[in-house]
């Protein structure tokens, strides 16, 4: 099997990197930079038309969308038990988590735009930052409720849904305080203890967006 992953360090393509490690699959990693715009090269756009990471090539098949890629990898490697098959009792919960991860990641992306990528202060809206930070807090509380006192998100154990949602728990804390969600904090520590997580981090590369540990809501917003 030949796999090439178009990857931006510390981005959603980390989900795919982590999934590949969980499955024990080797991949060639093509590292990209959002700041340098390397995803916009015509040969990359041919695979990822919206110039976004991740994009993956598996034996000539090309795919974008981290959630779809994880579902595809889970389905094509059922022996690993990282997905939940159609008809199984937790299927609906599994699909919900796979998609809820992008509701949350979308909020983080909006905050990244405001805090990190817009350079002209005149373009930044403290009101939008406040609104999206509050919305992110709501998703964190919701996720903590979904996790409850379980080890992982589904009773079937660790799987693709934990990778989708778990990845968010590394970027959300730039905008919300993780210790306010103690169950999520402990869950993140359990995820970090996984050898596949650690192997994926070792291949991830340095993030190039955040220049401070925490970005608060601007005063007066």
- Output 3 or 183, the one with its CB closest to ligand GSH: 3
Q: Which of 17, 19, 20, 34 binds ligand GSH (CB under 6 A)?
A: 34
Any residues with CB less than 8 A from the CB of 105 and at least 6 apart, and which? Answer: 12, 167, 168, 171
- Map residue 201 onto helix, strand or coil: helix
Cβ at position 145, least distance to ligand GSH in Å: 23
Site size toward ligand GSH, by CB under 6 A: 12
Q: Which of 5, 8, 70, 163 binds ligand GSH (CB under 6 A)?
A: 8
Gap between the Cα atoms of 41 and 45, Å rounded: 6
- 119 is written with which tokens? 């350079």
Gap between the Cα atoms of 147 and 151, Å rounded: 8
At CA 72, angle to CA 145 and CA 142, rounded to 5?
Answer: 10
Gap between the Cα atoms of 163 and 14, Å rounded: 9
- Output 39 or 129, the one with its CB closest to ligand GSH: 39
> Which DSSP category does 61 fall into?
E
Please say whether the beta carbons of 178 and 172 come within 8 A: yes
List Cα–Cα distances, 155 to 93, 94, 135, 172, 202, in angstroms. 10, 10, 27, 24, 29
Under rule CB under 6 A, which residues in 49-78 are in contact with ligand GSH? Answer: 52-54, 65-67
Please say whether the beta carbons of 165 and 143 come within 8 A: yes
Q: Is 165 in the site for ligand GSH (CB under 6 A)?
A: no
Cβ at position 133, least distance to ligand GSH in Å: 18
- Output 56 or 196, the one with its CB closest to ligand GSH: 56
Q: For tokens 């807090």, name the residue.
A: 137
Cβ at position 35, least distance to ligand GSH in Å: 9
The angle, 0 to 180 degrees and rounded to 10, between the axes of the packed helices 66-76 and 13-23 is 10
- Output 119 or 148, the one with its CB closest to ligand GSH: 119
Site string (101-130) toward ligand GSH, x via CB under 6 A? -x----------------------------
Cβ at position 79, least distance to ligand GSH in Å: 25
Q: Is 172 in the site for ligand GSH (CB under 6 A)?
A: no
Cβ at position 77, least distance to ligand GSH in Å: 19
Question: Where do contacts with ligand GSH occur on this chain (CB under 6 A)?
Answer: 8, 11-12, 34, 39, 52-54, 65-67, 102
């Amino acid at each position: 099997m030949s796999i090439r992953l178009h990857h931006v360090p510390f981005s959603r393509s980390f989900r795919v990197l982590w999934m590949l490690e969980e499955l024990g699959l080797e991949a060639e990693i093509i590292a990209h930079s959002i700041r340098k715009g390397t995803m916009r090269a015509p040969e990359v756009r041919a695979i990822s038309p919206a110039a976004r990471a991740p994009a993956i090539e598996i034996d000539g098949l090309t795919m974008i969308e981290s959630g779809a890629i994880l579902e595809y990898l889970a389905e094509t490697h059922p022996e690993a038990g990282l997905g939940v098959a159609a008809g199984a009792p937790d299927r609906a919960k599994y699909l919900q988590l796979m998609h809820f991860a992008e509701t949350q990641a979308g909020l983080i992306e909006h905050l990244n735009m405001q805090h990190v990528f817009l350079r002209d202060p005149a373009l930044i809206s403290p009101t939008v930052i406040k609104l999206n930070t509050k919305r992110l807090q709501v998703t964190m509380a919701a996720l903590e409720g979904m996790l409850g006192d379980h080890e992982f998100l589904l009773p079937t154990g660790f799987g693709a849904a934990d990778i989708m949602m778990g990845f968010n728990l590394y970027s959300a804390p730039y905008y919300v305080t993780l210790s306010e969600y103690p169950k999520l904090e402990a869950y993140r520590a359990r995820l970090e203890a996984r050898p596949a997580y650690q192997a994926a981090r070792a291949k991830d590369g340095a993030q190039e967006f955040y220049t401070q540990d925490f970005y608060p809501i601007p005063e007066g917003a």
